[in-house]
Structure 1
């Protein structure tokens, strides 16, 4: 494991300025709402700015980014950790991209370096979606506001994370659930005109053979490439073809995952002219989430 160097200078050059009544004049920290992260065994959260060149960073020892992405059964994570908050100013007109957690610390001119013990409250929310072209809220088939109990094909995956809502091995996104993309599903494709849109219909052409069983040419859990009459198209949309080749498995599903990680700091009070009972450190940039966390794959048990 590479050793990561986190610059831990403590120059404490900021002075305390007092009004006549003894109140401390506080410096406002104006940074972007997002922050970045690095570190394998010690987690460093940071953000920088220029004109003037400054940085804010938070060090949480014996902790990692993976720790705060391990959400519970409710897809959330919340924890408070002891941390150290750093505020630094620099003489450099611009700051290097590897200012933090580089193997060799970059050459920068630090003017002031102050730190304070604090408490970091970490909140993580995981949102999952099937990326099938239908907004999650529109997949509430039961209309009760609970997306978890809407499972049209009974494969154990609620529709909002099921890339194939009707279990016919044709992905929902390929069944034109919202042809013009306006969020109104009333014009969804309905090949056999039975008032059940194709993406919820397990027999799309109404020929009495389940769509998933119309694999007459290649048995690969995808009826879309089985074509007897090229003028009509795939057999599962051709009522004149009703040859049955029973399916034996569902297609693999890819579920897209999106994390929102926010950090709030409490009791920053050892930085001279800077003092915060509570400071919103911001939201972790999506680019900082490892690619291995951005999706998961699952193949439902066949029924």
Structure 2
């Protein structure tokens, strides 16, 4: 019996600790559509950064003798009605579209998160005041509200960025408010209050970190919306002003050449479509990673 007992060994496996970042990246990487979206985004970011090193043309350089040239060896995407190289303007235009998308959404996230946390955590008249403000902004169609703001402030890229940020504030505000309303009654928050932890510390250590997942997903999708809104404002002449190579403005300037020089419309339109598609695909992938309900 002693010899038999000696042979029996109880193997205790050590606990396995996984890094949530590496686990999330592994899950994201397994989503082929999300990776395709990330590739599209990185492609346009790389084009925006490397634009001065890839092309030898200046996006403002005009060549009236070579206007409306078809795509070829010298001008890969052809030229526009002023003889400017469309490929160069597409790459420099990526800087404007991505900058407007990221900057406006970051502003919306900052303001909307602060207002949403205040409304959801403190409630009462604070919630009523902030929520009614969100309702007023959401009562207007987003693009019409953006047009009204830019029309009041004057057409420029900075004012278009501000208008897009204002339009998206209630989106993040209501998202964060709903999340805070469900979090502030959790047991760990109640325990923190019982221990005498101040509201500011509870918000920073318990409420805000648990709101980041939905905010990141919504932020990625909102960048795509912001790029479309910036292109729409540029198309109407309310965004970036000439000679800035904004994709929406390029579409507007090329409307009359759709039949005779379709490349002047196709390439800016494809740039908008692929960038927006990339952010949408990546946002769907991030939702699958960050939303516990989507996990098996």
After TM superposition, is the score higher than 0.5?
Answer: no
Structure with larger RCO (C-alpha < 8 A, sep 6+) = 2
The structure that is helix-richer by fraction is: 2
Larger radius of gyration: 1
Please give the TM-score of this superposition, normalised by the length of structure 2: 0.25
Please give the TM-score of this superposition, normalised by the length of structure 1: 0.24
The structure that is strand-richer by fraction is: 1
